[in-house]
Structure 1
Amino acid sequence: MAHDIHITAEFVKGATKPEHFPESTLPEIAMIGRSNVGKSSLINALVRHNRMARVSNTPGKTQEINFFVTDMNFMLVDLPGYGYARVSKGQREQFSVLIRAYVLKRPQLVLTCVLVDARHDPQPLDLAILEELELAGRPFAIILTKCDKLKPAALIEREQQVRDVIQNCQYVVDVVPTSSETGLGRHQLLGLIKRIVNLSTQVPS
């Protein structure tokens, strides 16, 4: 059995504007995805905490960027969900500006985890986020969520489909199937995060 990775996290602050982002030298790992993709559940499963990131039955409830400091020497960043129709146009535009300001320009950001619901094809907004990250030269990983809802053969097929989509991307670092219900992928994702954080903090010789 692989050695388990334990992680704890503490809320630092929420930001609704770029000027509210915390001043920090810690590397940051961001979680982003469509509303109700299971982002809050995954974050809670990573730190094995039931309520660290608020889980809501109302898509689009997270309306700010939430920063959490971890005991693994990085900041975990929960971004607003995107693509929910019942959020007003003004709110969607505000989210878009806020999300772009963070994922495309934040110097401390070392990896963006783009969450995609494994039960469905990647949606146009998912592909748009991936394209923007690739064009900006920002490293990203694709995290497939709710994988327990698929049969093994269907999950293999979905993962291959996603890998085909990003086969020409230079800045994708991995595709990780996960399930907040079963714990699938938790160790793999934390191992990936740990590796990226360690690389980002190495001093060039």
Structure 2
Amino acid sequence: MKIMNAEFIISAVRPDQYPDDALPEFALAGRSNVGKSSLINRMINRKNLARTSSQPGKTQQLNYYRVNDSVYLVDFPGYGYAKVSKVQRQQFGTMIETFLSDREPLRMVLLIVDIRHAPSKDDILMYDWLKHYEIPVCVVTTKADKVPKSQWPKQVKMIKQELSFHPEDRHVLFSSETGLGREELWDLINEVIEQTNEEAEETEEVSIE
């Protein structure tokens, strides 16, 4: 996908701060330091638009990035970082749950998992929560460049087993370093947007009849 423009819009903590232009939104969820910001930068071919940090737990808001004036990538706070206070974790949890439950423009959650490791308890809880509330999800196994290519199938199989991965869900193998999976992920995002638009048009036609 050709990126014409990409910009950081807002770090939001309350629903009244979320953009109101109704563009489709794709949220990135994952544990602290799993590489969500690096993935965003690779997706938009910019080095530092999404700020990366060696300090886990730094993202504490919902960071909105608008791409080509047509879609938002929404970076969630990382979960599972021990040095974040219990009160902060509860605040993050409430903010994310409210967003996932009520956010009308949300089209899919990209669950980011490090291919080198088994999913954490928080990863499994997030996946189960998304499935329970029937929120579309794609599991993105990132940092593929850190593992020999011959090990990819084994690691992906292990991660899917640990998550109790549903066969109807999508999976993308990704590397922010090499760009592996970038076009596949953009194709998926565009596919979901097109499908949603078609469903909306069909609903509108039925209501008119």
Cα distance in structure 2, aligned partners of 1:52 and 1:10: 7
Map 1:176-195; keep pairs closer than 5 Å. 176-195=172-191
Secondary structure in structure 2 of the residue aligned to 1:103: helix
Residue matched to 2:119: 122
Moved more, 155-164 or 82-91: 155-164
**Does structure 1 residue 6 correspond to structure 2 residue 6?**
no
- In structure 1, what residue type is equivalent to 2:67? T
- The percentage of counterpart residues that share the same residue type is 38
Alignment gaps of 5+ in structure 2? none
Q: 2:143 aligns with which of 127, 146, 162?
A: 146
Residues 148/166 of structure 1: CA separation in 2 closer, same or farther (3 Å cut): same
Match of 1:162 in 2: 159
Q: Do the aligned residues in 1 keep the contact of 2:44 with 2:67 (CA within 8 Å)?
A: no
Task: Note if contact 1:42-1:180 (Cα within 8 Å) is conserved in structure 2.
Answer: yes
- Any gaps of 5 or more consecutive residues in structure 1? none
Shift in Å, 1:18: 2.5
C-alpha displacement of 1:167: 5.6
How far is 1:153 from its partner? 2.4
Q: CA deviation at 1:94?
A: 0.7
Question: Which of the pair is proportionally richer in helix?
Answer: 2
Secondary structure in structure 1 of the residue aligned to 2:81: coil
For residues 133-181 of structure 1, give each alpha carbon's deviation from its aligned partner in whole angstroms, at most 9, with x where no partner exists. 00001000000011111112221111122333456637x5311110001
Q: Which residue identity lines up with residue 193 of structure 2 in the other structure?
A: V
Residue number in structure 2 paired with 1:173: 169
Name the CA distance, whole Å, in 1 between partners of 2:86 and 2:122. 15
Q: Which residue of 2 aligns with 1:37?
A: 34
Given that 2:115 and 2:143 are in contact with CA atoms closer than 8 Å, whether structure 1 keeps it comes out as yes
Question: Counterparts of 2:120 and 2:90 in 1: how far apart (Å)?
Answer: 18
| Corresponding pairs, count | 200
Distance 2:124 2:97 in 1: 15
User: In 2 relative to 1, CA 147–88 (structure 1 residues): closer, same or farther, beyond 3 Å?
Assistant: same
d(CA) in 1 for partners of 2:196 and 2:162?
Answer: 27
- TM-score, normalising length: structure 1: 0.92
TM-score, with structure 2 as normaliser: 0.90
Structure-2 residue corresponding to 1:51: 48
Paired with 1:35 and 1:168, the residues of 2 have a C-alpha distance of 21
